[in-house]
Structures are given as C-alpha cells and as structure tokens.
Amino acid sequence: MSNQKHPIHSLFKFNAESKESKCMVSGCRDSFKGKYSTSLIRHAEKKHLEEYVHLLAAHKKNNAQPNTKKTVRRNATEVLLQKGC
Ligand SMILES: [Zn+2]
C-alpha cells in the first residue's frame, strides 16, 4: 500500500514494448502513448466515468479521505445527468 500509484492505471494496461497504455474496460479497445498522461484520465472521464469514479473512490478510501469520496461521486453523477447517458 506504500506505492502511490495513480488509480487510473487500474483501467489501463501498459505495454512496455509498444510503450502504449491500453484501455482495459470491456468493449473498449483504445490505447494511448505513454503510461501516464492526462489523455488517459480524459478518456476515462469521457468514456468510463462510472468505472473511473469507482476507482477514485476506492483509492480515496485507501488514503482515508472519506469526505472526498462523496464529493467525487456527486460530481460524477451530475456530469452523467448533464450528458444524458
Ligand atoms: Zn476505454
């Protein structure tokens, strides 16, 4: 638990040979250059907001910040409603 890895990496699998991060969400085949970039986060927020929020919530829980978890969830719900998904 000492490894401060960004939770975004749970959604992507980094290929060291191609140096690309592949989206691991089922039904999604997108991949991106590099192993940590804002494009990964942007993709997760756009396409897999629910999964991403769950990840963030779990991550925050590990860091013992229960208040932030609720905020993230609420924000995500509002975004979803605005998009009309
Ligand atoms: Zn994806």
Q: Strand 31-33 relative to strand 12-15: parallel, antiparallel, unpaired?
A: unpaired
Structural domain includes residue 1: no
Q: How is residue 34 annotated by DSSP?
A: S
What is the distance between the alpha carbons of residues 23 and 79, in angstroms, rounded to a whole number? 21
Is residue 54 included in any domain, yes or no? Answer: yes
Averaged pLDDT of the chain: 81
Q: Determine, yes or no, domain membership for 25.
A: yes
Residue 77 counted as domain residue? yes
- What is the distance in A from the centroid of ligand 1 to the CA of 47? 6
Taking the centre of ligand 1 as the mean of its atom positions, its distance from the CA of residue 35, in whole angstroms, is 14
pTM (predicted TM-score): 0.64
CB-based contact 20:14 (threshold 8 Å): yes
25 C-alpha vs ligand 1 centroid, how far in Å?
A: 6
- Give the Å distance between the CA of 34 and the centre of ligand 1: 15
Domain of 56 in residue numbering reads as 7-83
Task: Classify 21 as helix, strand or coil.
Answer: strand
Which position has the token pair 């999964």?
A: 51
pLDDT at 17 (0 to 100): 95
Q: What is the pLDDT of residues 50-84, one digit of tens each?
A: 999 998 898 888 775 555 555 555 666 666 666 65
